[in-house]
């Protein structure tokens, strides 16, 4: 799969929704079929952990295995079809000025902070915490059992020759973005990653912006 950078043709002034998501905070919103969603890295070097659910049937949600198998590539970029656990097309990446995004590294949690770093890191805020806080505020029946493998937009997780994963400096810069067209009504769940123990946020979590356009 090519990682050719593709810029959007959409004008910010035409967006029907804009919201800045503070560093370490969650975000959840319903996106209608045909709408275009942009995640904008405002300061650069910020990982954005993201999950997608079908708005009509949240049991149907983004599936990393189906997505990777269909495109034959472990990284996501322009042209990637994001598939559900039922094999249905949920979103298509239509523009990308970063180049590639991770869907293997998962979301940080109290447990992973403890295992990877140190026991005293257990109580540091994590993406799993952010996901759970958003679900608690969104009365749709979703709970921790619904947290599956997520996408890490802008995150750099190379695969080593022996099949391991490493967390490296983020390849995004200020103003870079990824843009997706919803192919069904979906719910997006974001944790604007608060991680301070590895370079996925350059050890300095920063805000991102979410923008939405109606079908053109």
Q: Is 80 exceeded by the pLDDT of residue 195?
A: no
Q: Does 107 fall in a domain?
A: yes
Q: Does 80 fall in a domain?
A: yes
- Cβ contact 212:40 at 8 Å: no
Q: Is 80 exceeded by the pLDDT of residue 197?
A: no
pLDDT digits (tens, 9 = 90+) for 2-59: 467 999 999 999 999 999 999 989 999 999 999 999 999 999 988 899 999 999 999 9
Q: Does 126 fall in a domain?
A: yes
Q: Does 10 fall in a domain?
A: no
Q: Is 90 exceeded by the pLDDT of residue 198?
A: no
Per-residue pLDDT band at 196 (split at 50, 70, 90)? low
Residue 20: the pLDDT is 98
Residue 211: the pLDDT is 98
**What number is the average pLDDT over the span 177-193?**
95
Angle (CA) 119-25-128 rounded to 5° is 45
HEC readout, 162-189: CCCECCCCCCCCCCEEEEEEECCCEEEE
Provide, rounded to the nearest whole percent, the portion of the chain with pLDDT above 70.
81
**What number is the average pLDDT over the span 82-101?**
96
Rounded-to-integer distance, Cα 147 and Cα 127, Å: 11
Rounded-to-integer distance, Cα 166 and Cα 164, Å: 7
Per-residue pLDDT band at 98 (split at 50, 70, 90)? very high
Higher pLDDT: 161 or 215? It is 215
Q: Is 50 exceeded by the pLDDT of residue 115?
A: no
Residue 113: the pLDDT is 46
Rounded-to-integer distance, Cα 66 and Cα 86, Å: 9
Residue 117: the pLDDT is 43
Rounded-to-integer distance, Cα 193 and Cα 14, Å: 28
- Enclosing domain of residue 99: 16-213
- Cβ contact 202:23 at 8 Å: no
Q: Does 137 fall in a domain?
A: yes
Residue 119: the pLDDT is 47
**Closest Cα to residue 191, out of 50, 41, 17?**
50
Rounded-to-integer distance, Cα 103 and Cα 117, Å: 21
Q: Does 6 fall in a domain?
A: no
- Cβ contact 131:47 at 8 Å: no
Q: Is 80 exceeded by the pLDDT of residue 118?
A: no
Higher pLDDT: 193 or 209? It is 209
Q: Does 91 fall in a domain?
A: yes
Per-residue pLDDT band at 125 (split at 50, 70, 90)? low
Q: Does 113 fall in a domain?
A: yes
Task: Tell me how many domains the chain contains.
Answer: 1
CA distance readout (Å), 13 to 64, 86, 139, 190 = 33, 36, 31, 23
Q: The pTM is what?
A: 0.88
Angle (CA) 185-77-173 rounded to 5° is 105
């Amino acid at each position: 799969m090519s990682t050719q950078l593709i810029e959007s043709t959409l004008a910010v002034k035409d967006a029907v929704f804009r919201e800045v998501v503070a560093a370490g905070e969650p975000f959840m919103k319903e996106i209608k079929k045909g709408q275009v969603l942009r995640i904008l890295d405002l300061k650069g070097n910020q990982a954005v952990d993201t999950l997608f659910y079908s708005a009509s049937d949240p049991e149907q949600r983004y599936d990393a295995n189906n997505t990777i198998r269909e495109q034959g590539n472990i990284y996501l970029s322009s042209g990637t079809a994001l598939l559900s656990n039922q094999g249905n097309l949920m979103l298509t990446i239509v523009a990308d000025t970063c180049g590639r995004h991770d869907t293997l590294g998962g979301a940080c949690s109290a447990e992973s902070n403890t295992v990877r770093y140190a026991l005293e890191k257990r109580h540091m805020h994590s993406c799993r915490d952010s996901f759970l806080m958003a679900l608690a505020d969104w009365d749709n029946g979703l709970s921790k059992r619904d947290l599956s493998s997520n996408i890490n937009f802008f995150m750099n997780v190379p695969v080593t020759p022996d099949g391991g994963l490493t967390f490296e400096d983020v390849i995004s810069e200020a103003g870079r973005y990824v843009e997706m067209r919803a192919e069904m009504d979906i719910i997006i769940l974001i944790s604007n990653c608060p991680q301070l123990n590895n370079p996925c946020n350059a050890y300095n979590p920063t805000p991102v912006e979410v923008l939405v356009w109606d079908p053109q």
